[in-house]
Structure 1
Amino acid sequence: MRIGELAKTTAIPVETIRYYEKIGLLPEPVRDGSGYRAYRSAHLDRLQFIRRCRNLDMAQDEIRELIRLTEQPEADCGEVDALLAHHLDHVRERLRELARLEDTLVQLQQACTEGRTVRECGILDGLSAEPDAEAPAGRHNHVPGSHRPGRR
C-alpha cells in the first residue's frame, strides 16, 4: 500500500507517517520499482499501536520503549507495567496541575465585576501581578506537565 492509502486507513497525516519513519518509530518501507514507498500490514499495525499510545498521551520515548519491549515477546512484562505506572503518575500530576490552573482561572474570573472599564479590570490586574509563590519552580510553559527530558 502507498503512503496516501496508509494515511487514510490510519487517520494519520502523511507528514506524520514520514516523521515517524525519520525518528525510527516506524521502520522504513521497501521501495517499489517506481521508487514509491510500499507499506505492509506490519506498518499499519505499528501505526495503529502508535496512534493508541499517542491517544493515551504517551511521549515518543515511552512509545519507543514499548515498541522495544514488544520485540521481546517472551520477556517478563514487568517493564511494561512499570512504564505504564510511571505514565499514570505523570497523568495524575498533570491532573493536579490542571486543577490548580482551574482554581487560578476561577479566582481571576471572580475578580471581574460588571460596569468597570478595561483599566479597572480585575482579571487584567491579576494577570499583571507577580506570579503566585505557590507555583512550582520551573513551570513557565502554557501547558503544564509536558514530558520532561530524561523521564519516561
Structure 2
Amino acid sequence: MTAALTIGELGRRTGTKVETVRYYEKIGLLALPKRTRGNYRAYGENDVARLSFIRRTRDLGFSIDQVRALLSLAGDESRDCATIDAIASTHLGEIDRKLADLAVLRREIAALVASCEGGTIGQCRILEALAPIAGRRPPDI
C-alpha cells in the first residue's frame, strides 16, 4: 500500500491549487477523501489519476458538466464510446464558433489599428470609433 497524500501533495502532483481540489470535492467531481487520525485529508493514486483527468479536460476547455459526463462514462469500459465522441464533437463545434467570433473580432480591431493616423489623443480615430455615440469622445476617467 502506498502512503496517503496530503491535499498539498495532491495539488503539487497534479498542478492544482488546494482551493480547486476542495471545490471539485464540493461539486462531486472528486470523492470526499478518507481522513487521517489527525483529521487531515488522505488521498491515493486513484485520486491523482482522477484529478489529472479532470485537469486535462478542463485545460482543453470542457465544461464542468462535460467533465462530469466523461468521468461517469469512463467508469463503464464495456460501453460504446459514441456518447464520449458526441461530447467531444459538441465541444469541438463550440471551439469552432469561438474561433469564428475571434476572427471577426480580430478584423474589427485590425481595422481600428489601421485607421490610426498618429497625432494627438484628441484626434485619435480609435477612441472615436469606440465611443458609444459616433463622433463623441468617451468621458474623462
TM-score interval w.r.t. the shorter chain?
Answer: 0.7 to 0.9
Select the structure with the greater relative contact order (CA < 8 A; seq sep ≥ 6).
Answer: 1
- Give, in angstroms, the shift of residue 129 of structure 1: 4.0
Q: Distance in 1 between matches of 2:63 and 2:25?
A: 16
Of the candidates 27, 33, 36, which is equivalent to residue 32 of structure 1? Answer: 36
Q: Distance in 1 between matches of 2:130 and 2:51?
A: 42
Who is 1:102 aligned against? 106
Length-normalised TM-score, structure 2: 0.88
Who is 2:24 aligned against? 20
Q: Which amino acid aligns with 2:42?
A: A
Of the candidates 118, 122, 125, which is equivalent to residue 125 of structure 2? Answer: 122
> Residue 85 in 1 paired to residue 106 in 2?
no
Q: Which amino acid aligns with 2:123?
A: E
Larger Rg: 2
Q: Which amino acid aligns with 2:21?
A: I
Q: Distance in 1 between matches of 2:104 and 2:29?
A: 34
- Give, in angstroms, the shift of residue 87 of structure 1: 0.4
Q: Distance in 2 between matches of 1:28 and 1:101?
A: 43
Q: Distance in 2 between matches of 1:108 and 1:129?
A: 15
Q: Over the residues paired in the alignment, what is the CA RMSD in angstroms? A: 1.4
Who is 1:11 aligned against? 15
Structure 1 runs (4+) deviating above 2 angstroms are none
- Give, in angstroms, the shift of residue 82 of structure 1: 0.5
Q: Distance in 1 between matches of 2:18 and 2:92?
A: 30
Structure 2 gaps of 5+ residues are 134-141
Which has the larger helix fraction?
2
Length-normalised TM-score, structure 1: 0.82
> Residue 65 in 1 paired to residue 69 in 2?
yes
Q: Percent identity?
A: 40
